[in-house]
Amino acid sequence: MTKLRLATIEDEKPVRLTVDLPAALFRDLVAYAEIMARQDNLAEPYQPARLVAPMLARFMQADRGFRRLRNGQTREGGRSGTPSA
């Protein structure tokens, strides 16, 4: 069986964010929640909104460019904002 990229959903205090999703994306999110519930042997699927944060977190963790820039590194390997000697 293929494993999903998203692991378990952590329960932590949320910050409310309102977004509009295309209907097709929402349907896929619902389907993902249903598949995840089957894999985790849950009686009820997760609410689709609960999947968004862990999916975004996983996406950002996997984005090497984002991590490099967030840590202040440029493409040349040096820190941004520091003069080169």
**Can you give the pLDDT of all 85 residues of the chain as single tens digits?**
677 777 777 777 878 889 999 999 999 999 999 999 999 899 998 899 989 988 998 999 898 888 888 888 755 555 555 444 4
Nearest partner of 49 among 18, 83, 8, 4, judged by Cα: 18
41 vs 38: CA distance, rounded Å? 5
pTM: 0.67
- Give domain limits for the chain: 23-70
Query: Which amino acid, 85?
Result: A
